[in-house]
Chains A and B, each alone.
Chain A
């Protein structure tokens, strides 16, 4: 316990929980009764707001917001790799941090274990899209901060999109833009882009990352119980959604590139 403890921070109590108000109706998830999706069609994703170039200190950055998921991403480098052996290819370093207030329960800094596994999932999604052979001996650092989280699958998907946009904004050579989408199996239905509540109801979930411009898949991340046919349906549904997301990302990148050329001229 003592090792993962930062004395420079104001450390809160070990355990804390939000207050429960008497007027608030306690929601009890009741078995099969809640198995129809509220507010959205099963094949709809949450609306995406994406803004490249928000963090001025970074070489490239992007901010993404899909309803309750808010992620800021910054890209630094390519810079010289420290303390590593000679390598012909560059290294892609992805780090993700949850803000302490990002989830329903407080995320303790340093003691959190989930951020590393999400960072690995995002790194896998991006790795085959970056032309690392262009950056010998160098490291590209991608830092993500989750300001608000709503479902792990959504975090991985939105984080990958934000990171790929930030890499494009930084002028890092890529084979294509990486888009990502999640899906969950709830009962017999497949719900695209599940929220935290919805993925709690789900039997299994899947996150697909692909490059729609090249028609290639960069990573598939699946957890829980799913039949092979459900997996294939999920992948197909996610792939078509990724094409939709690609147009959103393309529009925002084009807008920021046009804005940059007009201010320079």
Chain B
């Protein structure tokens, strides 16, 4: 039963008992559980879902990757290219905005955007709200969020030295960034 491909609108046969939590690609109408995507319904933990890997628009709490396109004293504009690990098709990027109060968790009032990001930096962030008509609000207020790749003024990829600094391996110059904690470091 569970290995059959269902089509949008097709009722999903369920064992008797309480209806499980419904995940993506499944909806309930008139107390009948139906599919809304083409695929095989499977249990993911406690919820029943039809998972399908395809580019999706960002939603609150999704982890996004993007590069900085524009800076102002109050905010940094981001071009979101990867949502939850799935790259978006070229030309279909979403715009995100990191406001100065969302850069870090502490001393929010002392944040200077120019000491945290530069144009072209690749940033990992979390979507905190759908934002306004133009952009999604993105936050980097977590240890594992922030700049993950940046080039120095000499044009070389820099390495992080602390959560606020990155160093150019060619010139040894230190530049200020809000760095993401690299994975695999205790």
- Which A residues lie at the B interface, using CB under 8 A? 59, 76-80, 84-86, 129, 131, 135-138, 168-171, 173-177, 211, 213-214, 250, 253-254, 257-258, 261
> What is the bound-complex CA distance between A214 and B37, given in angstroms?
15
Q: Is the CB of B94 within 8 A of A171?
A: no
Q: Is the CB of B36 within 8 A of A174?
A: yes
Minimum CB–CB distance for A213 against chain B, Å? 3
Find chain B residues with CB under 8 A from A168 CB: 7-8, 37-38
Q: Is the CB of B9 within 8 A of A137?
A: no
Find chain A residues with CB under 8 A from B130 CB: 86, 136-137
Q: Is the CB of B9 within 8 A of A177?
A: yes
Find chain B residues with CB under 8 A from A213 CB: 7-10, 34
Q: Is the CB of B133 within 8 A of A137?
A: yes
- Which B residues lie at the A interface, using CB under 8 A? 5, 7-10, 25, 27, 29, 34, 36-39, 52, 54-57, 59, 89, 92-95, 130, 132-133
Say whether, besides A131-B27, A174-B9, A258-B5, A80 and B133 are in contact (CB < 8 Å).
no
In the complex, which of the residues A77, A80, A131, A211 has the most CB atoms of chain B within 10 Å of its own CB atom? A80
Minimum CB–CB distance for A43 against chain B, Å? 25
Find chain A residues with CB under 8 A from B57 CB: 78-80, 135-138
Across the A-B interface, the 4 shortest Cβ-Cβ residue pairs: A176-B9, A213-B9, A86-B133, A174-B8
Q: Is the CB of B9 within 8 A of A77?
A: no
Say whether, besides A80-B94, A84-B133, A173 and B36 are in contact (CB < 8 Å).
yes
Q: Is the CB of B5 within 8 A of A177?
A: no
